[in-house]
Amino acid sequence: MAAQYDVVVIGSGPGGYVAAIRASQLGLKAAVVERDALGGICLNWGCIPTKALLRSAEIYETLHRLDEYGLKAEKVSFDAEAVVTRSRNVAAQLSNGVKFLMKKNKIDVIEGTGRLAGEGRVAVETKDGKTSEIAARNIILATGARARVLPGLEPDGKTIWTYREAMVPKAIPKSLIVVGSGAIGIEFASFYRAFGAEVTVVEVLDRILPVEDEEISKEAARAFKKRGIRILTGAQIGKTDVSGNGAKMTVTVGGKSETLEAEKIISAVGIVGNVENIGIEKAGVKIEKTHIVVNEWLETGAKGIYAIGDLVGPPWLAHKASHEGILAVERIAGVKGVHPIDPRRIPGCTYSTPQVASVGLTEAKAKEQGYEVRVGRFPFRANGKAIALGETEGFVKTVFDARTGELLGAHMIGAEVTELIQGYGIAMTLESTEAELMQAVFPHPTLSEMMGEAVLDAYGRVLHT
């Protein structure tokens, strides 16, 4: 007889394993089906190990600025293999941590590839080809996504890389083309530039980091160019030739064509959902643009089947997936007071140098939606802590509804802004207005003071500029 569960989660990424933990907390018998390492792409090949790489790059760059701090060091160098090994060890440590959490919460981990096998049933195929079935009153699909492939730019693992190959280089290439300027592309551009690679970013849209506020994108482009990263926007990509030693790519910008040459190309042009071979067609689950269609409760429309995370579309963020997993399980358990997720309150972060972070509406989006806005800005160069840190590049921007004082959005670029943004995220969740934010006391000296000043600036009360 098939094993019986209240909830079976297919996929153990930050959405899947969190969903299973919450199910266990609510007294539901839960299992996770995983074909690879616990923690999914994010923990093993994305969010966490990339930040380990970027931390090494950040320290290496700082070591070349020691004279600014009255310090000296000679013969500063790096070991690419050791940098990668540290990153992989960090990923392994956290994957083992998820394994511990599964055991602690009495969640069964079933190794193999899961797929829907009919109402209330999941088939699991192990690596040796054997298949068994388990029964579940509810099934949560959390199979994630993979890199999108552009025709003519198919990754070969040798010259054209996806994020996987880019994370484990045997050596730092002397030159690199990054196609795509979203968070993934920009982070890799920043990492490789820090270690001396000549980097060119190619973006088909008219600006880099296109989901960010336009002022942030402009400042980011200026900062990256200052670091020596070449940026080509509004670009049309022509023929790519990898037949020789390295790669040649024809790019047209403003009617002018040129051939870029580099040792490697990183393709970072988005992701597609892992919807294949999981049995959703027969289950009646609807798919649009490679992603599963769900309602505000993450229900697919098929009885007892939910979907979460990258599988259901943007924003493609680990923390969004985790909250979706919790929401789906609490919906299953009938928890009272559960609310759908407001995507405007989900922060987004890019861990480049400088960092970029945002939450809510951009100024342009707010105006498009009919808001009359009040906008505040405060520069890093006017903040005491930023000056003391030697990190004076960047600014904080706030966008308010001029009529009600509601905080509509916040946008940042500069040192450690990925740690600061959640302050605005909490404010938006609490539906704070400028009145509450002006009453908040920010400690001195901290970078967070800029958050308060950016609020004051929107209302003509800024103190330090």
Per-chain mean pLDDT for the chain: 96
Answer for the pair 166, 263: CB distance below 8 angstroms, yes or no. no
The string of pLDDT tens digits covering residues 210-221 is 999 999 999 999
The string of pLDDT tens digits covering residues 358-371 is 999 999 999 999 99
The end-to-end CA distance of the chain, in Å, is 72
Q: Which fold has domain 160-267?
A: FAD/NAD(P)-binding domain (3.50.50)
> Of the candidates 416, 415, 421, 365, which has an alpha carbon nearest to the alpha carbon of residue 392?
415
The string of pLDDT tens digits covering residues 309-320 is 999 988 999 999
Q: Is the pTM of this model over 0.85?
A: yes
Answer for the pair 16, 306: CB distance below 8 angstroms, yes or no. no
Q: How much is the average pLDDT of 28-57?
A: 94
Q: How much is the average pLDDT of 33-51?
A: 92
Q: Does residue 173 surpass a pLDDT of 90?
A: yes
Tell me how far the alpha carbon of residue 375 is from its chain's centroid: 26
Answer for the pair 216, 304: CB distance below 8 angstroms, yes or no. no
DSSP assignment of 428-459, as one string? HHTT-BHHHHHHPPPPSS-TTHHHHHHHHHHT
| The two three-digit tokens of residue 397, written as one number | 């921007």
The string of pLDDT tens digits covering residues 265-278 is 999 998 999 999 99
What angle, 0 to 180 degrees and rounded to 10, lies between the N-to-C axes of helices 183-194 and 214-226?
Answer: 20
Q: Does residue 145 surpass a pLDDT of 70?
A: yes
pLDDT score for 243: 87
What is the CATH architecture assignment of 354-458? Answer: 2-Layer Sandwich (3.30)
pLDDT band of 110, cuts 50, 70, 90:
very high
Please give the angle made by the CA atoms of 367, 370 and 371, to the nearest 5 degrees: 70
Q: Does residue 450 surpass a pLDDT of 60?
A: yes
Answer for the pair 345, 425: CB distance below 8 angstroms, yes or no. yes
Q: Does residue 1 surpass a pLDDT of 60?
A: no
pLDDT score for 3: 79
Q: 464: helix, coil or strand?
A: coil
Instruction: Measure the CA–CA gap between 261 and 50, rounded to whole angstroms.
Output: 26
β-bridge mates for residue 43, sequence order = none
pLDDT band of 2, cuts 50, 70, 90:
low
pLDDT band of 46, cuts 50, 70, 90:
confident
Amino acid at 413: I
Q: Does residue 281 surpass a pLDDT of 90?
A: no
The string of pLDDT tens digits covering residues 201-246 is 999 999 999 999 999 999 999 999 999 999 999 999 999 999 888 9
In the chain, % of residues over pLDDT 70 = 100
Q: What are phi and psi of 323, to 5 degrees?
A: -70, -30
Q: 41: helix, coil or strand?
A: helix
Q: Does residue 451 surpass a pLDDT of 80?
A: yes
Q: What is the DSSP letter of 442?
A: P
Of the residues 319, 323, 444, 464, which is catalytic? 444
Q: What is the DSSP letter of 362?
A: -
Pairing of strands 131-141, 305-307: parallel
Amino acid at 169: P
Q: Where are the domains of the chain?
A: 3-147+272-333, 160-267, 354-458
Question: Residue 314, preceding bond cis, omega within 30 degrees?
Answer: no
Residue 319 bears catalytic tag: no
What is the homologous superfamily of the domain 3-147+272-333 according to CATH? FAD/NAD(P)-binding domain (3.50.50.60)
pLDDT band of 42, cuts 50, 70, 90:
confident
> Of the candidates 180, 287, 293, 274, which has an alpha carbon nearest to the alpha carbon of residue 235?
180
What is the chain's alpha carbon radius of gyration, rounded to the nearest angstrom?
Answer: 24
